[in-house]
């Protein structure tokens, strides 16, 4: 509106974010933080066949919410773990892209959410995606399902998620982002079925260097009187 040109650095963090998505998924389903804390507290006295039982991801249904660069990178990794790929997106992917992931497209987000074992939130935060995973939709999740968010905290209704995690209606959650950045919900922090990280999914040395290089290219292109390659336009929002 003010005629200010904006550019960003798309694509550089897709693989890093997808890696962290899988890390959170495994941490939640296999209860890794609980095991780590037990070791740190000196509470480990030896192997027990029923201690810290988690669930497999192999053979489970993964529902990817937002099948862009990051969503596809998550799907690629999840396939290697033996997961079935499902997705909801603003637009259906091309047939050949779907075939590469053996992915199933769901036009209805409600129907997809109700049938998945794991939901991975990988869509951007826009006015249309604010609280896309609202209380009603979160309640649709099946028993034993978990949700992972490495996108933006505002996509999930955090108070509703907290209530459902406390009641056990949602089995677990892995969150790298929060609805109010810098203020990890105190109730969430006290739940054993939640793994929380400080917005670090893109935090790799390689990724930050690539980001910086893209910034320099955008600035240099603008200074030379040309359109930056990564200019953000209103239609993207």
pLDDT by residue for the chain (237 residues), tens only, comes to 788 999 999 989 999 999 999 999 999 999 999 999 999 999 999 999 999 999 999 999 999 999 999 999 999 999 999 999 999 999 999 999 999 999 999 999 999 999 999 999 999 999 999 999 999 999 999 999 999 999 999 999 999 999 999 999 999 999 999 999 877 678 899 999 999 999 999 999 999 999 999 999 999 999 999 999 999 987 755
Which is the catalytic residue, given 61, 69, 92, 199?
199
Q: Is 31 a catalytic residue?
A: no
Instruction: Please tell me the distance from the alpha carbon of residue 29 to that of residue 197, in angstroms, as a whole number.
Output: 16
CB 24 within 8 A of CB 195: yes
Distances (CA, A) of 169 to 10, 126, 173: 36, 27, 11
**Cα–Cα nearest to 189, from 178, 200, 202:** 178
CA 122 to CA 74: how far, in whole Å?
9
Residue ranges of domains in the chain: 14-36+54-196
The yes-or-no answer on residue 152 being catalytic is yes
Given 56, 102, 181, 183, the catalytic residue: 181
Give the separation between CA 177 and CA 100, rounded to whole angstroms: 29
Name the CATH superfamily for 14-36+54-196.
NAD(P)-binding Rossmann-like Domain (3.40.50.720)
> Which strands, in side-by-side order, build the sheet including 84-88?
104-105, 84-88, 61-65, 118-121, 146-149, 172-175, 194-196
Q: Looking at the whole model, is its pTM more than 0.85?
A: yes
């Amino acid at each position: 509106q003010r005629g200010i040109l904006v550019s960003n650095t798309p694509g550089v963090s897709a693989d890093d974010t997808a890696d962290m998505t899988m890390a959170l998924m495994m941490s939640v389903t296999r209860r890794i933080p609980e095991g780590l804390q037990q070791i740190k507290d000196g509470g480990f006295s030896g192997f027990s066949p029923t201690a810290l039982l988690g669930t497999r991801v192999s053979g489970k249904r993964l529902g990817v919410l937002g099948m862009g660069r990051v969503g596809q990178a998550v799907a690629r990794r999840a396939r290697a773990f033996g997961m079935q790929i499902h997705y909801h997106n603003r637009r259906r992917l091309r047939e050949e892209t779907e075939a590469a992931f053996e992915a199933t497209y769901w036009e209805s987000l409600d129907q997809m959410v109700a049938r998945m074992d794991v939901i991975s939130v990988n869509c951007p935060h826009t006015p249309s995606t604010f609280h896309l995973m609202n209380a009603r939709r979160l309640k649709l999740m099946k028993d034993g399902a978990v949700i992972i968010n490495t996108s933006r905290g505002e996509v999930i209704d955090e108070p509703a998620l907290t209530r459902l995690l406390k009641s056990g209606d949602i089995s677990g959650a892995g969150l790298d982002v929060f609805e109010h950045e810098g203020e990890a919900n105190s109730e969430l922090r006290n739940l054993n079925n939640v793994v929380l990280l400080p917005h670090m999914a893109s935090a790799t040395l390689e990724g930050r260097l690539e980001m910086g290089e893209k910034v320099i290219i955008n600035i240099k292109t603008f200074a030379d009187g040309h359109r930056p390659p990564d200019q953000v336009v209103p239609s993207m929002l």
